[in-house]
Chains A and B, each alone.
Chain A
Amino acid sequence: MSALDSLYQQVILDHAKARHGDTVLADPDASHFERNPTCGDEITVSVRLEPGSDRIAAIGWQGDGCSISMASASVLTDMAVGRTVPELLELTEAFRDMMRSRGAGEPDEDVLEDLVAFHGVSKFVMRVKCGMLAWVAAEAAVREATA
């Protein structure tokens, strides 16, 4: 596989087009805006919890950015819904560790599921922030929702 194809895994290209969760969320418990000032990519992630629980009922986001950042937001939506806030924060840490790996090691597919497609991104230091953008926004949103 070429370096380019390892960056743009089919999973990423598909999610960049499908954009799960790319909607305005009604009645969010919290929203958070993040911008990557170096490139201008931006996203607002909103989260709604199940009533009286810290389980995530819905994620909605609106953003503008490259295929990596948009695909990452789409995967976030798929993976966050149904998890508790601590579970999502734990997953975010695991994803962050992989994104900081510079392509080293073998990611744990049982934990990271579709996110393993972003392992190739970690080799492109200029693109790591693209991959993390939605997750950083979600991290802040769920913290605010449970604060």
Chain B
Amino acid sequence: MTVLAPNQPLTESEVAAIKRDFPILQQEVDGQPLAYLDSGATAERPRQVLDAERRFLEQDNAAVHRGAHTLAGRSTDAYEDARATVAGFVGAASPAEVVWTANATDAINLVAYGIGNASRGRGGAAAERFRIGPGDEVLVTEAEHHANLVPWQELAALTGATLRWVPVADDGTWTAEDATSLITDRTRVVAFAHVSNVTGLVAPVAEVVAAAHEHGALVVLDACQSAPHRPLDVRQLGVDFAAFSGHKMLGPNGIGVLWGRSELLDALPPFRTGGSMITTVTMESSEFMPAPERFEAGTQPVSQAVALAEAVRYLQGIGMERVRAHEEHLAQRMLDGLAAVPGIRVVGPPAGVLRSGLVSFDVDGVHAHDVSQYLDAQGIAVRSGHHCAQPLHRRLGLVATSRASTYVYTTEEDVDRFLAAVGEVRGYFGAAS
């Protein structure tokens, strides 16, 4: 057996074996084998993840952190083991730095509304560092997913702070210089995507973090498109918060993760309050637990956490360096193939600039929905629309784009079928002449 270096793309037989783990990918759509190229929206789940959730529900399920019975103990252990697994996956200093949320959107709202609550005086002296108001600035980019834009618009509106944004170039990308030139002593929060869900651009995190911290600003990283697809080490990146979703990384819906530095999480006022997050409650007021519990009010998504941990172990079994290499290999195959099709405009960084395994494109004369529909008739699933990034599309001069995104189960054959079908689209819709 050949031993491959840890950064080698997956071999054909390895991908075939992985794909066999995914029951949903074994089906036909319209009489054609399914080529699922929409993992950027939601990833499919391997049997191991489905089995882990079922096994937990059949054997261990109970309310966590309460009760003294056997199942309560087992489920609490499983729940906290899951937290430790995810903490290890992203390089957290401790499991307490991992907060379960409903999804990444929820995680970003937790930070934005926590800062908002601090700005209204909640959290006392410890939360003073989060206070923002008129004259302060929150910096995002023009390429953000609405999930990492709208909560900051709301925070600015609630506090009187100013929302600023890094403008993008004609291809939808931005550089370290574009961002750092806007970071000043007024900047209190810098929020951006590690990997863009539209352009695939890998952000210059280190440079932005350095500039932000030099000026005392917090850095919030939207890691939705990076955590599932490439090695992620939050401490090494130096960010202050990072958010990602379970369902994009082979795990369940209904669970997301907020990672934050423990000293920040312990000081940030909670966004949601209620049961399970308090120490002492009187009729007048309450005291809150430290992180992560202070952010986990109410019943938690326990079986989802258990399943997400299994998804993490599945990815670790492959190795995140190899996941990245596999997807970059497929993205390059897509880019090369699309370059040979007349009338295709690929959105995103030029050759040589770091990008991930997703490709968004416009077909001249054919709307993205029609592209997607045409491909669907051949069993090929791609995303079409504005991908929750309306300002970016407006800047690109496009109402919508089509996006093909890859994952561990994506084969070269999937990509080649996709390319062949895209080559036929303009002819079908009479746009080729």
Interface residues of A (CB under 8 A from B): 2-4, 7-8, 13, 16-17, 38-42, 64-68, 70, 124, 127, 130
Q: Does B390 lie within 8 Å of A40, measured CB to CB?
A: yes
Least distance between A54 CB and chain B CB atoms (Å): 33
Q: How far is the CA of A141 from the CA of B366 in the complex (A)?
A: 28
Which residues from chain A contact B393 at a C-beta distance below 8 Å? 40
* Distance in angstroms between the alpha carbons of A70 and B30 in the assembled complex: 26
Of B184-192, B351-359, B367-375, the one with at least 4 CB within 8 A of chain A? B367-375
Measured between alpha carbons, how far is A138 from B73 in the docked complex, in Å?
61
Give the residue of A7, A16, A40, A70 whose beta carbon is less than 8 angstroms from that of B373: A7
B interface secondary structure, majority: mixed
CA of A64 to CA of B362, assembled, Å: 14
Which of A2, A3, A67 sits near B429, CB closer than 8 Å?
A67
Report the 9 A-B pairs with minimum CB-CB distance, sorted nearest first. Answer: A66-B369, A66-B367, A4-B377, A40-B386, A64-B399, A39-B385, A40-B399, A67-B370, A40-B400
Q: Does the CB pair B369–A68 fall under 8 Å?
A: yes
Q: Are B377 and A66 closer than 8 Å at their CB atoms?
A: no
Q: Does B430 have its Cβ within 8 Å of any Cβ on chain A?
A: yes
- Residues of B within 8 Å of A68, CB to CB, are 369-370
User: How many angstroms from the CA of A41 to the CA of B377 in the assembled complex?
Assistant: 22
Is B384 in the interface zone, CB < 8 Å from A? yes
Contact B390 A66 (CB under 8 A): no
List 4 extra interface pairs beyond A38-B385, A40-B393, A40-B400, CB under 8 A: A40-B390, A67-B366, A67-B429, A127-B369
B429 to A65, Cβ gap below 8 A? Answer: no
Give every chain B residue within 8 A of A64 (Cβ-Cβ): 399
B377 contacts A13, C-beta separation under 8 Å: no
CB-nearest residue of chain B relative to A17? B430
Which A residues lie within 8 Å of B366 (CB)? 67
A3 engages B377 (CB within 8 Å)? yes
Please name all residues of chain B whose beta carbon is closer than 8 Å to the beta carbon of A16 when the two chains form the complex: 429
Complex Cα–Cα for A17 and B367 (A): 12
Given A3-B30, A68-B369, A127-B369: A39 touches B384 (CB 8 Å cut-off): yes
* Residue of A38, A66, A68, A124 most packed against chain B (CB within 10 A): A66
Docked Cα-Cα span, A45 to B399, in Å, equals 18
Q: Which B residues lie within 8 Å of A7 (CB)?
A: 373
Interface size class of B (residues with CB under 8 A): 10 to 19
**Distance (Å) between the CB of A14 and the closest chain B CB?**
9
> Which residues of chain A come closer than 8 Å to B429, judged between CB atoms?
8, 13, 16, 67
Contacting residues of chain B (378-428) with chain A, CB-CB under 8 angstroms: 384-386, 390, 393, 399-400, 428
Determine if A2 and B399 form an interchain contact, defined as CB atoms under 8 angstroms apart. no
Residues of B within 8 A of A67 (CB): 366-367, 369-370, 429
Whether the pair B369, A39 counts as a contact (CB closer than 8 A) is yes
Q: Which of A2, A38, A66 contacts B370 (CB 8 A)?
A: A66
A93 to chain B, nearest CB (A): 25
Report the separation of the CA atoms of residues A143 and B430 in the bound assembly, to the nearest whole angstrom. Answer: 36
* Complex: chain A residue closest to B394, CB-CB: A40
A16 (CB) vs chain B CBs: closest residue: B429
CA distance A70 to B400 in the complex (A): 14
What is the bound-complex CA distance between A38 and B390, given in angstroms? 11
Q: Pick the residue among A2, A40, A42, A127 that contacts B377 (CB under 8 A).
A: A2
Once the chains are docked, how many angstroms separate the CA of A17 from the CA of B385? Answer: 21
Complex contact B430–A42 (CB within 8 A) = no
Per-position 1/0 for B8-35, Cβ under 8 A of A: 0000000000000000000000100000
Expressed in whole angstroms, the Cα–Cα distance for A41 and B390 within the complex equals 11
How many Å from the CB of B9 to the closest CB on chain A? 34
Give the chain A neighbours of B385 by CB distance below 8 A. Answer: 38-40
Closest to A40 in B: B386
CB distance from B286 to the nearest CB of A (A): 38
Report A-chain residues with C-beta under 8 Å of the C-beta of B430.
13, 17
Shortest Cβ distance from B400 into A: residue: A40
Cα separation A66 to B386 with both chains bound (whole Å): 13
A60 to B367, CA, bound (A): 21
Chain A residue contacts of B373, Cβ below 8 A:
4, 7-8, 124, 127
A selection of 19 A-B contacts at a CB cut-off of 8 Å is A2-B377, A4-B373, A4-B377, A8-B429, A13-B429, A16-B429, A17-B430, A38-B385, A39-B384, A39-B386, A40-B393, A40-B399, A41-B399, A65-B369, A66-B370, A67-B366, A67-B367, A68-B370, A124-B373
Q: Is the CB of B377 within 8 A of A65?
A: no
Q: Which residues of A contact B367 (CB under 8 A)?
A: 65-67, 70
Complex Cα distance, B370 from A38, in Å, reads: 15
The residue in chain A whose Cβ has the minimal distance to the Cβ of B368 is A66
Q: Closest approach, in angstroms, between the C-beta of A7 and any C-beta of chain B?
A: 7
User: B30's closest neighbor in chain A, by CB?
Assistant: A3
8 Å CB contact of B374 from A4, A17, A41:
A4
> Shortest beta-carbon distance, B270 to chain A, in Å?
31
A4 to B29, CA, bound (A): 13
A124 to B386, CA, bound (A): 20
- For the complex formed, measure the closest distance between the CB of B429 and the CB atoms of chain A, giving whole angstroms: 7
Q: Which residues of B contact A13 (CB under 8 A)?
A: 429-430
* Minimum Cβ distance to chain A for residue B389 (Å): 10
